[in-house]
Amino acid sequence: MPQYFFDLYDGSHLAVDNQGKALRDEAAARREAAAILSEVTRDTLASNSQSRDFRVVVRLAQGHPLWETHLQWETHRFQRS
């Protein structure tokens, strides 16, 4: 099985995945990238952040990026009348 690596950028910090994960195919790697974004979004909700930009770059062991998954989180408060 191919080894996929998931580098996470949270808008200010880059966390490089040095371990990777053996997955069956690119579809499984896409699901893993979505799960990573889901987890960091949940953490963002807990911290009351109003705006964040998350990116997961998926690459193979050779270091070649395959694709990037991007999620922009924004919270807008409405004014009460």
Q: Does residue 81 belong to any structural domain of this protein?
A: no
Assess if residue 80 is contained within a domain.
no
Residue 26 lies in a domain: yes
User: How confident is the model over 6-33, as pLDDT tens digits?
Assistant: 999 988 889 999 999 999 999 999 999 9
Look at residue 44 and tell me if it is in a domain. Answer: yes
Mean pLDDT of 49-65: 87
Q: What amino acid occupies position 27?
A: A
Instruction: Read off the pTM.
Output: 0.83
Does a structural domain hold residue 24? yes
User: What is the spatial distance between Cα 1 and Cα 49, in angstroms, rounded to a whole number?
Assistant: 38
Predicted confidence band of residue 49 (pLDDT cuts 50, 70, 90)? low
Number of structural domains, the chain?
1
> Which range of residues forms the domain containing residue 68?
3-74
Other C-beta atoms lying within 10 Å of the C-beta of residue 60: 14
On average, the pLDDT of the chain sits at 89
